[in-house]
Amino acid sequence: MIRFEHDQFRCPGYFIKAAAAPFEKAGAAALRKRVFVDEQKIFKDHDSDTIDAVATTLVALSTYAHEPDEVVGTVRIHEPEPGLWWGSRLAVDRRFRTVARLGQQLIQLAVSTANGRGCHTFLAHVQAQNVPLFQKLAWSVEDEVDLHGFPHALMRADLSRYPPIADPESGWLSLVGGEGAARASVPRPVCHDVPALLAQHWHVDGSRA
């Protein structure tokens, strides 16, 4: 039998999807507080606002023993006027940054979901240090602004690079292998491949393969 300590476990797969279950929405709110209040100190007590009532929340879920485990990434999208969409509150848990391209995948799901809902313009206020990341993903800078006392760029996505997604609640399962991340489109039964994936990365005594 393979035994894992949770803190030595390297997650082999992540669900990237629209939040639906209560634990997904609560996990996204908790992650936002950890990142924007506790870590970045952009907000004092909480980062919730009136947009939350109308926004669609997207999440990245780690997996453990085949099943969705924690919310480790989130972003929200909303449409203040027909066809105009905004993305905001992009956050990845510190322990999961740069390990599985979760930020990039959340951006992909955000813009593709909006595109599938009739978006003609997708904008975001992007923290200055993240501008190169968005530029790499076919976003362009429209303006520079100060928000909450921090420098941001107003950026716009090139929608032609984001094919429409009609069913964001299904999303996809992103598998992390030795050759880098691979994406398997849902259906969910792909999750049953996780034991095989684990075997690629771990020996039965718990050491790394």
Ligand X SMILES: CC(C)(COP(=O)(O)OP(=O)(O)OC[C@H]1O[C@@H](n2cnc3c(N)ncnc32)[C@H](O)[C@@H]1OP(=O)(O)O)[C@@H](O)C(=O)NCCC(=O)NCCS
Considering only residues 28 through 47, tell me which ones interact with ligand X, judged by CB under 6 A: 35
Minimum CB separation from ligand X for residue 126, in Å?
Answer: 4
Q: Which residue has the tokens 């936002």?
A: 32
51-59, 102-110, 156-164, 174-182 -> range binding ligand X (CB under 6 A): 102-110
Q: Which H or E run includes 126?
A: strand 121-127
Instruction: Using CB under 6 A, pick the residue from 20, 51, 84, 133 that binds ligand X.
Output: 133
Minimum CB distance to ligand X, residue 26 (Å): 18
Contacts of 172 (CB under 8 A, 6+ apart): 15, 16, 17, 183, 184, 185, 186
Q: Output the smallest distance, CB 97 to ligand X, in A.
A: 3
Dihedrals φ, ψ of 193, to 5°?
-80, -5
Closer residue to ligand X in complex, CB, 139/202 = 139
Residue nearest to ligand X (CB): 103
- Cβ-based burial of 46 (10 A; exposed 0-12, middle 13-18, buried ≥19): exposed
Task: Kindly list the residues in this chain that would bind ligand X in the complex (CB under 6 A).
Answer: 35, 90-92, 97-98, 101-104, 126-127, 130, 133
